[in-house]
Protein backbone atom coordinates (compact mmCIF):
# COMPACT_ATOMS: atom_id res chain seq x y z
CA UNK A 1 0.00 0.00 0.00
CA UNK A 2 1.45 3.37 -0.98
CA UNK A 3 0.99 6.84 0.45
CA UNK A 4 -1.54 7.50 -2.31
CA UNK A 5 -3.98 5.47 -0.21
CA UNK A 6 -4.03 8.19 2.44
CA UNK A 7 -7.60 9.35 2.90
CA UNK A 8 -8.49 12.23 0.60
CA UNK A 9 -10.32 15.17 2.12
CA UNK A 10 -13.56 14.09 0.47
CA UNK A 11 -13.46 10.33 0.06
CA UNK A 12 -16.25 9.00 -2.18
CA UNK A 13 -19.28 7.61 -0.38
CA UNK A 14 -20.69 5.84 -3.43
CA UNK A 15 -19.19 3.15 -5.67
CA UNK A 16 -19.98 1.38 -8.91
CA UNK A 17 -20.68 -2.35 -8.57
CA UNK A 18 -21.75 -5.18 -10.81
CA UNK A 19 -23.97 -7.90 -9.42
CA UNK A 20 -25.10 -11.01 -11.29
CA UNK A 21 -28.76 -11.02 -10.33
CA UNK A 22 -30.83 -14.03 -11.34
CA UNK A 23 -28.41 -14.64 -14.20
CA UNK A 24 -28.17 -11.09 -15.55
CA UNK A 25 -25.34 -8.63 -14.91
CA UNK A 26 -26.61 -5.44 -13.24
CA UNK A 27 -24.19 -2.53 -12.96
CA UNK A 28 -25.15 0.41 -10.80
CA UNK A 29 -23.75 3.03 -8.45
CA UNK A 30 -24.60 2.32 -4.83
CA UNK A 31 -24.39 4.39 -1.68
CA UNK A 32 -21.93 2.60 0.63
CA UNK A 33 -24.65 2.49 3.27
CA UNK A 34 -27.06 0.56 1.07
CA UNK A 35 -27.66 -3.06 1.93
CA UNK A 36 -28.06 -5.70 -0.74
CA UNK A 37 -31.72 -5.93 0.30
CA UNK A 38 -32.29 -2.22 -0.33
CA UNK A 39 -30.57 -2.36 -3.72
CA UNK A 40 -32.60 -5.39 -4.80
CA UNK A 41 -35.87 -3.82 -3.74
CA UNK A 42 -35.35 -0.12 -4.41
CA UNK A 43 -32.96 -0.03 -7.38
CA UNK A 44 -33.61 -3.31 -9.19
CA UNK A 45 -37.35 -3.62 -8.53
CA UNK A 46 -37.03 -7.10 -7.08
CA UNK A 47 -39.40 -6.89 -4.15
CA UNK A 48 -39.58 -10.61 -3.45
CA UNK A 49 -36.97 -10.48 -0.69
CA UNK A 50 -38.75 -8.81 2.22
CA UNK A 51 -37.61 -6.34 4.85
CA UNK A 52 -38.89 -7.91 8.05
CA UNK A 53 -36.73 -7.00 11.03
CA UNK A 54 -33.83 -5.46 9.04
CA UNK A 55 -31.47 -6.85 11.74
CA UNK A 56 -30.78 -10.42 10.61
CA UNK A 57 -33.19 -11.93 13.08
CA UNK A 58 -36.19 -12.98 10.95
CA UNK A 59 -34.84 -14.38 7.66
CA UNK A 60 -37.48 -12.70 5.43
CA UNK A 61 -34.66 -11.11 3.37
CA UNK A 62 -32.88 -14.42 2.67
CA UNK A 63 -31.33 -14.72 -0.81
CA UNK A 64 -28.60 -16.92 -2.27
CA UNK A 65 -25.16 -15.33 -2.65
CA UNK A 66 -22.75 -17.42 -4.71
CA UNK A 67 -25.09 -20.33 -4.05
CA UNK A 68 -25.27 -19.90 -0.28
CA UNK A 69 -28.21 -18.54 1.69
CA UNK A 70 -27.58 -15.23 3.43
CA UNK A 71 -29.46 -12.40 5.13
CA UNK A 72 -29.42 -9.65 2.48
CA UNK A 73 -30.31 -7.01 5.10
CA UNK A 74 -26.87 -7.39 6.70
CA UNK A 75 -24.82 -7.44 3.51
CA UNK A 76 -23.54 -4.10 2.23
CA UNK A 77 -24.13 -3.96 -1.53
CA UNK A 78 -20.73 -2.38 -2.17
CA UNK A 79 -19.03 -5.41 -0.61
CA UNK A 80 -20.95 -7.81 -2.90
CA UNK A 81 -19.38 -6.55 -6.14
CA UNK A 82 -18.96 -9.47 -8.55
CA UNK A 83 -21.13 -11.95 -6.64
CA UNK A 84 -23.97 -14.02 -8.03
CA UNK A 85 -27.32 -13.33 -6.38
CA UNK A 86 -30.40 -15.50 -6.69
CA UNK A 87 -33.62 -14.08 -5.30
CA UNK A 88 -37.01 -15.75 -5.04
CA UNK A 89 -37.78 -14.27 -8.49
CA UNK A 90 -34.94 -16.37 -9.91
CA UNK A 91 -35.95 -19.74 -8.43
CA UNK A 92 -38.45 -20.68 -11.14
CA UNK A 93 -36.13 -21.46 -14.04
CA UNK A 94 -37.79 -21.30 -17.47
CA UNK A 95 -41.21 -20.59 -16.01
CA UNK A 96 -41.29 -23.88 -14.12
CA UNK A 97 -41.69 -23.61 -10.35
CA UNK A 98 -38.79 -24.84 -8.25
CA UNK A 99 -39.82 -28.09 -6.51
CA UNK A 100 -39.85 -26.33 -3.16
CA UNK A 101 -42.17 -23.62 -4.51
CA UNK A 102 -44.54 -26.32 -5.77
CA UNK A 103 -44.33 -28.11 -2.40
CA UNK A 104 -45.23 -24.89 -0.55
CA UNK A 105 -48.32 -24.57 -2.78
CA UNK A 106 -49.27 -28.23 -2.33
CA UNK A 107 -48.85 -28.07 1.45
CA UNK A 108 -50.33 -24.58 1.93
CA UNK A 109 -47.11 -23.74 3.77
CA UNK A 110 -47.97 -20.12 4.57
CA UNK A 111 -50.69 -17.84 5.74
CA UNK A 112 -49.92 -14.20 5.00
CA UNK A 113 -46.95 -15.11 2.77
CA UNK A 114 -44.63 -12.35 3.94
CA UNK A 115 -41.90 -14.73 5.13
CA UNK A 116 -42.35 -17.14 2.20
CA UNK A 117 -39.68 -15.78 -0.22
CA UNK A 118 -37.12 -16.05 2.56
CA UNK A 119 -38.35 -19.51 3.54
CA UNK A 120 -38.03 -20.67 -0.08
CA UNK A 121 -34.52 -19.33 -0.60
CA UNK A 122 -33.47 -20.69 2.78
CA UNK A 123 -34.81 -24.14 1.88
CA UNK A 124 -32.90 -24.13 -1.42
CA UNK A 125 -29.71 -23.22 0.46
CA UNK A 126 -30.40 -25.90 3.05
CA UNK A 127 -30.69 -28.62 0.39
CA UNK A 128 -27.24 -27.75 -0.94
CA UNK A 129 -25.72 -27.74 2.56
CA UNK A 130 -27.22 -31.11 3.47
CA UNK A 131 -26.23 -32.59 0.10
CA UNK A 132 -22.64 -31.50 0.77
CA UNK A 133 -22.76 -33.39 4.07
CA UNK A 134 -22.64 -30.30 6.28
CA UNK A 135 -23.78 -31.08 9.83
CA UNK A 136 -26.27 -29.11 11.92
CA UNK A 137 -26.59 -28.75 15.70
CA UNK A 138 -28.84 -31.84 15.81
CA UNK A 139 -26.66 -34.03 13.56
CA UNK A 140 -25.00 -36.95 15.37
CA UNK A 141 -21.63 -35.50 16.50
CA UNK A 142 -19.86 -38.74 15.63
CA UNK A 143 -21.00 -38.58 11.99
CA UNK A 144 -18.02 -37.58 9.81
CA UNK A 145 -18.56 -34.35 7.92
CA UNK A 146 -18.74 -34.18 4.15
CA UNK A 147 -19.14 -37.92 3.57
CA UNK A 148 -22.43 -38.24 1.74
CA UNK A 149 -25.57 -36.19 2.21
CA UNK A 150 -27.14 -35.65 5.63
CA UNK A 151 -30.62 -37.17 5.82
CA UNK A 152 -33.13 -34.36 6.26
CA UNK A 153 -35.40 -35.60 9.02
CA UNK A 154 -38.09 -33.28 10.38
CA UNK A 155 -35.78 -32.52 13.30
CA UNK A 156 -32.96 -31.57 10.93
CA UNK A 157 -35.30 -29.38 8.87
CA UNK A 158 -36.62 -27.56 11.95
CA UNK A 159 -33.08 -26.85 13.18
CA UNK A 160 -31.76 -25.81 9.76
CA UNK A 161 -34.77 -23.55 9.07
CA UNK A 162 -34.64 -21.86 12.49
CA UNK A 163 -33.30 -18.65 10.96
CA UNK A 164 -36.63 -18.08 9.20
CA UNK A 165 -39.44 -16.91 11.44
CA UNK A 166 -43.12 -17.25 10.49
CA UNK A 167 -45.30 -15.14 12.74
CA UNK A 168 -48.44 -16.79 11.33
CA UNK A 169 -47.05 -20.04 12.70
CA UNK A 170 -47.18 -22.04 9.48
CA UNK A 171 -44.21 -24.08 10.65
CA UNK A 172 -45.82 -27.57 10.53
CA UNK A 173 -46.68 -27.18 6.84
CA UNK A 174 -43.35 -25.52 6.04
CA UNK A 175 -41.51 -28.52 7.52
CA UNK A 176 -43.83 -30.87 5.61
CA UNK A 177 -43.22 -29.02 2.33
CA UNK A 178 -39.45 -29.12 2.76
CA UNK A 179 -39.68 -32.81 3.68
CA UNK A 180 -41.67 -33.48 0.50
CA UNK A 181 -38.85 -32.16 -1.65
CA UNK A 182 -36.31 -34.44 0.03
CA UNK A 183 -38.34 -37.55 -0.69
Partner 1 sequence: MKPYAYVRARSVEEATAAHAARPGARYLAGGTNLVDLMKHGVETPETLVDVSRLPLDGIEELPDGALRIGATVRNSDLAAHPLVRDRHPVLSQALLAGASGQLRNIATTGGNLLQRTRCPYFQDTAKPCNKREPGTGCGARDGIHRDHAVLGHSPHCIATNPSDMAVALAALDATVHLYGPGGERTVPVTDFHRLPGDHPERDTVLEPGELITAVMLPARTAGLPSAYRKARDRASYAFALASVAAVLDVDDAGAVRHVGLAFGGLAHRPWRARLAETALLGAPPTEHAIAHAVDAELGLAQPLRDNAFKVPLARNLACRVLSELARR
Site string for partner 1, 153-172 (x = CB under 8 A): -----xxxxxxx--------
| Among positions 21, 39, 40, 78, the unique one binding partner 1 when judged by CB under 8 A | 78
Q: Which is nearer to partner 1, 28 or 74 (CB)?
A: 74
19's CB contacts (< 8 A; 6+ apart) are 25, 26, 36, 39, 77, 80, 81, 82, 83, 84, 85
Q: Is the dihedral of CA 152, 174, 168, 129 positive or negative?
A: positive
Contact between residue 40 and residue 87 where contact means Cβ atoms under 8 Å apart: yes
| Binding window for partner 1 (CB under 8 A); candidates: 44-52, 65-73, 94-102, 168-176 | 65-73
Q: Which is nearer to partner 1, 33 or 167 (CB)?
A: 33
DSSP letters, 133-144, are: T---TTS-TTSP
| Among positions 20, 44, 89, 135, the unique one binding partner 1 when judged by CB under 8 A | 135
Does position 9 bind partner 1 by CB under 8 A?
no
Does position 32 bind partner 1 by CB under 8 A?
yes
| Among positions 18, 25, 42, 68, the unique one binding partner 1 when judged by CB under 8 A | 68
Q: How far is CA 90 from CA 4, 15, 101, 120, in A?
A: 42, 25, 12, 11
b/e code 154-178 from CB counts within 10 Å (16+ = b): eebbbebbebbbbeeebbebbbbbb
Q: Which is nearer to partner 1, 90 or 118 (CB)?
A: 118
**Residues making contact with partner 1 (CB under 8 A):** 1, 5-7, 11-13, 15, 31-33, 35, 54-56, 59, 62, 65, 68-71, 74-76, 78-79, 81, 122, 125-126, 129, 132-137, 139, 141, 144-147, 158-164
Amino acid sequence: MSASHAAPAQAPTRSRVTLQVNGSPRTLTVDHRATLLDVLREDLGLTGAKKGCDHGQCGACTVLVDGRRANSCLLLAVAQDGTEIITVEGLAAGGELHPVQQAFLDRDAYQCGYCTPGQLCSAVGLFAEAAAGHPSYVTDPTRPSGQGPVELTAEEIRERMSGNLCRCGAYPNIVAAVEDVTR
